[in-house]
Structure 1
């Protein structure tokens, strides 16, 4: 007979085995540190599942209509959330989300006591198995609840299964990004109203205090994209200049943090706007908006801005296209225009656009395309690698060095922009070299 506690007990046994005979964390080897960290993650996720179930029961026993018989009130708390927050040290908001996860994944009954299906069975199964934790489950459950009136239960059930399939191994921020993109696919008509709501919240405030000017900007996706691209372009140019030994401010930049360089970027942009002097100090920064050609023509669907998580409506895409350029790009079945073989060493702009469509930015860590470079998987000189899409990958500078310096391999499955990028860890990291999915396919459903 299985018990709710079985996965939790198994996770505890895994932790005990990973810890070994060490007296404290300081006595753990590198290999054991990694194993213990993984075991702790599983233990936390399975504990979240148990706690969510308990939270749902606490809420049931503390419902308002019970009055003084409410369990929370009998224990000296106003409500269930306060009881959980006080006993766990979590915030009230986190406690409320835990209750909602428990209620959405717990067995249900109707008014006459008959059993009803679990509201979100795929989330329950993944949570109970320790594949996702309460944070990811909470984000997914809140999203699914919002979508039921708009998309219907059948489509929401499909989205639930898809999200549960993508979520294991993702951070909380990555799960939120995945949900944001899923919402655009599930409810494309809701993108424009959401964009209007965000635009209405946009604001810039300025005040002086202690000799410093404080600038705080909150910008919607369409207007935030060029600001982000320009600032990141300036930072990228500064690092490139320092790396190439041509930085006139090397003495200063060696000591500047990224946030300080970003402050210099903002000043530079303001000075440029005041003087209207043409310059090339933004390292070719460009705002890239991706949209299906048919959607652009028909005025339907939505667009995605490189480096911005929130999708934008088709009207916004058209306005942005009117102020810039539109690149139409069609590939043959074999992607022939994206393959240069040994004829060219450097990847072309079209190839970079295709790689950005496939990888979404750094294929390893997810940084936006503007801070990445196209790298040959099989090296150009050493391995006589080809300048083809199947031999290219977008990587930021840090991940490029991490992969090459530590013996990671990269594998591309499929062809063209719908191919999947896999990273194979070295045996020192994983003796089985289990491939890890990268690129857009890690957080998005790629048709």
Structure 2
């Protein structure tokens, strides 16, 4: 496909036409003579180029909005016009315009996007985080926050970057002030989520019913935990590939089974027990009613909960005390047992937050406990300090000799490397500073490890 060139011939049009010509020349090369190494080069370079093009699109969106071009062209709004120009809908156009407004031109975030160092999604998260800084933040502190989030964007997933943005004031504020600020943000977000919660269903006329729902993150994490138990994602991973459609079908059928098994004698009017979802929170904060109480964290996916919501959930939940910086004797089984117990797995999930292999996003519910430096057959022990949380795929790679792992001798953090290489790498899941300190982890990598 050859792109249509722009008329009239202005300097800008000439450069845009040249850009399309370059893509025309690249397309047959990518389609016909691409090696795996070249394919990775394409994804890396095109990703950065796309970021830079997104920066240009934001600048164009600002001009279109400020000039009120949409009205002159008969569009309902700038978002409507942008959506049509980009082959999307009004909602997408409005979201793009929102980022254009929130990311000032020539700001640090705009410069990073223009250089290709951050994505449009990351720029949106950074801008939103800066909008919700404490009201007493100085211009210098705001710049520090922006620069830190830009640096962290290359290491963190979007979800972790959002969580990091909520606590970015830890660069200058006390832990108590940061806790108070984050708790306020979470409470406001939870209230908005509750107000926006909805579910709609409609019959398709063919024996099926479709639906659409919007629910708060906390309840979504609970639902996903239940459905994953029905869907058994490990069975798909055992095949060596992830078949998304098949998994979605199993989740749907599991949802039906869940509905059928709801105990009618335990509906809300009679009370009931929730599925076990581990939420970490200091006991002092759980019992406290102070505004600066620290938030809680759902272990399965890192969802942060305000102190108020954590206390409410704890009313109907079973409390499992764990001392993160104390002796782990009750969780150590030595050579007496080969398999890790349920309580050990909860403790491992609290520590690793999912698959510990760098870059893997598999949650704890999809993971297995691996006997660290030495397998059970090699004399390894079933102790918490020698366990590593890995998903089924990375567990297979370890036992097949395609991946090596160890527990860092300085801080016990799981680390991985490819055979034949010397550099150990660790997962860079972000945790609030209090969680890192509770686990005895330094915030920076120890010698011999990298991210």
Normalised to the residue count of structure 2, the TM-score between the two structures is 0.68
Name the residue aligned to 2:296: 303
In 1: Cα distance, 2:363 partner to 2:370 partner: 15
Structure 2's unaligned 5+ residue stretches are 1-18, 170-177, 267-273, 438-451
Query: Match for residue 319 of structure 1?
Result: 312
Structure 1 pair 55–255 and aligned structure 2 pair: CA distance change class (3 A): closer
Report matched runs for 1:286-365 at 5 Å: 286-299=276-289, 300-307=293-300, 310-332=303-325, 340-364=333-357, 365=360
Partner of 1:267: 256
Alignment of 1:139-150 (within 5 A): 139-147=125-133, 149=135
What 5-or-longer segments of structure 1 have no aligned partner? Answer: 1-11, 65-69, 108-117, 244-253, 278-283
Give 1:321 deviation, angstroms: 1.9
- TM-superposed CA distance for 1:100, in Å, is 5.7
Q: Distance in 1 between matches of 2:142 and 2:343?
A: 36
Q: How does 1:173-322 map to 2 (within 5 A)?
A: 175-176=161-162, 179=165, 186-210=181-205, 211-236=207-232, 239=235, 257-274=246-263, 286-299=276-289, 300-307=293-300, 310-322=303-315
- What is the CA-CA distance between 1:288 and the residue it aligns to? 0.9
Give the SS at the match of 2:117.
coil
- Per-residue CA shift, 1:384-406, capped at 9, x if unaligned? 33434443222222332355547
CA change 1:415–1:206 in 2 (3 A) is: farther
In 1, are the aligned partners of 2:406 and 2:416 still within 8 Å (CA)?
A: yes
1:28 aligns with 2:34: yes
1:163 and 2:156 correspond: no
Residue equivalent to 2:368: 373
The answer for the alignment partner of 1:44 in structure 2 is: 50
Alpha-carbon distance in 2 for matches of 1:309, 1:255: 23
For residue 310 of structure 1, report the CA deviation from its aligned partner. Answer: 4.2
Partner secondary structure for residue 440 of structure 1 = coil
* Structure-1 separation of matches of 2:256 and 2:69: 58
Contact in 2 for aligned 1:303/1:313 (Cα 8 Å) = yes
Instruction: Report the CA distance between 1:374 and its aligned residue.
Output: 1.4
Per-residue deviation at 1:295? 1.0
Give the alignment of 1:418-433 within 5 angstroms.
Answer: 420-425=413-418
- Judged with a 3 Å threshold, the aligned counterparts in structure 2 of structure 1 residues 149 and 233 are, in CA distance, closer, same or farther, namely same
**Conserved? CA contact 2:233–2:366, under 8 Å:** no
Conserved? CA contact 2:198–2:215, under 8 Å: yes
Query: CA–CA distance in 1 between the matches of 2:113 and 2:342?
Result: 43
- 1:95 Cα offset (Å): 5.5
1:111 equivalent in structure 2 = none
Tell me the secondary structure at the aligned position of residue 267 of structure 1: helix
Which residue does the alignment assign to 2:66? 63
SS of structure 2 residue aligned to 1:147: coil
In the alignment, is the contact (CA less than 8 A) between 2:193 and 2:216 conserved in 1? yes
CA distance 1:194–1:83, shift in 2 (3 Å): closer
Task: Tell me the distance in 2 between the aligned counterparts of 1:72 and 1:219.
Answer: 34
Aligned pairs for 1:13-162 (under 5 A) are 23-52=29-58, 56=62, 58=63, 63=66, 88-89=86-87, 120-121=107-108, 123-147=109-133, 149=135, 156-162=142-148
Q: Supply the RMSD in Å over aligned alpha carbons.
A: 4.5
Deviations 1:104-124 (A, max 9, x none): 6656xxxxxxxxxx6x53x34
Q: Is the 8 A contact 2:227 2:254 kept in 1?
A: yes
For the Cα contact (< 8 Å) 1:424–1:434, is it kept in 2? yes
What is the alpha-carbon distance in structure 2 between the residues aligned to residue 97 and residue 434 of structure 1? 41
User: Which residue in the other structure is 1:112 paired with?
Assistant: none
Match of 2:262, SS? Answer: helix
| Contact 1:331–1:338 (Cα < 8 Å) also in 2 | no
Paired with 1:170 and 1:333, the residues of 2 have a C-alpha distance of 29
The answer to whether the 8 Å contact 2:129/2:162 transfers is no
The CA deviation string for residues 235-266 of structure 1, in whole angstroms up to 9 with x for no partner, is 239949x98xxxxxxxxxx9992233223323
TM-score, structure 1 normalization? 0.68
